[in-house]
Amino acid sequence: MRLRDRRSFREPAVMIIPMIDIMFFLLVFFMISTLYMVHVKTMPVQLPQAVHAEQQARVSSVITLQKDGSLWLDDRAMKEADLLAAVQAEKEANPNFVVVIRADQSLDYGQVMVLMDHLKNAGITRFGLAAGGEQGQ
C-alpha cells in the first residue's frame, strides 16, 4: 500500500530571507542596547554646561561628587579614604591611569578643589573635569 507518489515530494529548501531578517533584527537590538549601557557605570549628576567640552576616549575611572557630598568611584559609593586607596592601587597597576571627576554644578568649588588636592597627594596626576555639552547630561 503506497500513500504518496515519490514524485510529489519536494527537495527541502533553506529559506535565506527570513534568516537575514532575523540577523538584522538582532544587530539593531544589540546596537541599541549597548547605547544604554554607556551610562550604567556612573551616577546621575547635574553637570555644569560647557560649549567647548571635549569627549575623552580613554577613561580609566570616574569619580562622582554628588550634591549631598557623597563620593562614588564608577558605580560604588565610597568614603574618601577608601576611594583614595582604590585609586592609588589602580595608579600603581596602570601608569597611564586617568580619572575623570564629575561634580554636581550646585557644589561649592572648594569641595572639588579639596578632592583634586587629595588625588594629587595620592599620586594621581592625570585627571579631568567632566562637563555637560550643549545637549546636557
The CATH number that applies at residue 46 is 3.30.420.270
What is the total count of domains within the chain?
2
All three cell numbers of 52, joined, read: 567647548
C-alpha separations of 75 from 115, 124, 136 in Å: 18, 20, 20
C-alpha separations of 32 from 2, 21, 23, 28, 61 in Å: 55, 17, 14, 6, 24
Phi, psi of 133 (to 5 degrees): -85, -160
Mapped onto helix, strand or coil, the DSSP state of residue 63 is strand
Domain that holds residue 107: 42-129
All three cell numbers of 58, joined, read: 580613554
* 75 and 105 share one domain: yes
Q: Is residue 50 part of a domain?
A: yes
Q: What is the pLDDT of residue 136?
A: 41
Residue 90's nearest CA partner among 123, 42, 41 is 123
Name the pTM for this structure: 0.56
* 60 and 98 share one domain: yes
Check residue 71 and report its DSSP letter.
Answer: E
43 in Cβ contact with 66 (< 8 Å): yes
Spell out the per-residue pLDDT of the chain, length 137, in tens.
Answer: 566 666 667 777 788 888 899 999 999 998 888 776 655 455 566 666 666 655 555 557 888 888 888 888 888 888 989 988 988 888 888 877 888 888 888 888 888 889 889 988 888 888 888 877 544 44
* 72 and 95 share one domain: yes
Q: In sequence order, which residues have a C-beta less than 8 Å from that of residue 59 and are 6 or more positions away?
A: 98, 100
How far is the C-alpha of 86 from the C-alpha of 88, rounded, in Å?
Answer: 5
* 109 and 67 share one domain: yes
Sign of the dihedral through C-alpha 40, 78, 104, 98: negative
Phi, psi of 101 (to 5 degrees): -100, 120
